[in-house]
Amino acid sequence: MIDPILGVIGGSGLYDIDGLIDRRWVRMETPFGEPSDELLFGTLDGQRLVFLPRHGRGHRIPPSNINFRANIHALKEAGVTEVVSVSAVGSLRADLHPGTFVIADQFIDRTFAREKSFFGTGLVAHVSCAQPVCARLGDALEEAARELKIPCRRGGTYLVMEGPQFSSAAESELYRSWRCDVIGMTNMPEAKLAREAELCYATVAMVTDYDAWHPDEGAVTVDKVLKVMQTNAESARALIRQVAPKLKDRNAFCPEGCEAALEHALITAPEARDPAMVEKLRVVAGRVLRG
């Protein structure tokens, strides 16, 4: 029997969740360091929920300094089973206007300054990221967005850049030539780590601007982004309230196989595994390490 707990990772502009009852902020420690902030525990329309502001309350942490491993580890340790990630992005398509929510289903990872795996020397694993998001969660998010009449696009490729600078015009045109749909700075390695932690994961990419390619829009600036961000954050809070009840009745394993991502991923022979690494990965990979 599954007891689903919804985890929400809030991106730029989303630092709290409305409507939670039995609210409590809890500081958590992990073997990978401190998460971005305390975790907010509560219940939303009968669904247990844990919220984590990705950049910390007040937006203190830039993308490259986010401790993604600690964030995902803390959510896993808190009992979270499904993760909805919310992030601000730029649009690489003329038909994806600011205010549109894109439920992305693919990523291109262009980051280079981040720790990207829980595993390493002493305990090696290779998970599949061919389908990096949970279609079941995506279905629920799409349904909720349609019900709220939030402009929504199901599917799309999210290019994750390192940042913190915005793209050059040449970079923006390059990513368009790759047929990417949106660009942001935060969903990698987050999605990869969620897969390693055997968590269902889906992302809501909230368009704030047209990156640097649009001939009529000019360069991306923080003031332009902030103008759209407030409206997007209000819509995101409404979306979370709408989707939470849709997830509370799951009573079977995810048909997408998210909860078994590590089933055949460990490659280090049991007798060669570093005991310290095994202990460090007890929360993330304990299901497959107990045998």
Tell me, what DSSP letter sits at residue 136? H
Sign of CA dihedral 11, 234, 237, 27: positive
211 is catalytic: yes
Do β-strands 101-103 and 152-154 pair in parallel, antiparallel, or remain unpaired?
A: parallel
What is the rounded CA–CA span in Å between residue 237 and residue 254?
25
Residues 180, 186, 188: CA angle, nearest 5 degrees: 75
Which stretches does DSSP call E strand in the chain?
Answer: 6-10, 21-26, 39-44, 47-53, 82-91, 101-103, 106-109, 152-154, 157-160, 182-184, 200-209
* Tens digit of each residue's pLDDT (9 = 90 or more) over 143-192: 999 999 999 999 999 999 999 999 999 999 999 999 999 999 999 999 99
Percent of the chain with pLDDT over 90: 81
57, 15 Cβ separation under 8 angstroms: yes
Domains of the chain: 6-289 (3.40.50.1580)
109 is catalytic: no
What is the rounded CA–CA span in Å between residue 230 and residue 237?
11
Tokens 């402009």 correspond to 151
What is the rounded CA–CA span in Å between residue 9 and residue 55?
10
Residue type, position 59, single letter: H
pLDDT of residue 277: 97
Catalytic-role residue among 209, 216, 249, 274: 209
The length of the chain, given as a count of residues: 291
pLDDT of residue 77: 97
pLDDT of residue 210: 86
247, 47 Cβ separation under 8 angstroms: yes
Q: Is 247 helix (H, G, I), strand (E, B) or coil?
A: helix
Give pLDDT < 70 ranges for the chain: 1, 216-224, 291
Catalytic-role residue among 211, 223, 249, 274: 211
pLDDT of residue 3: 82
183, 175 Cβ separation under 8 angstroms: yes
Q: Which two tokens stand for residue 137?
A: 């969660």
pLDDT of residue 270: 95
pLDDT of residue 11: 78
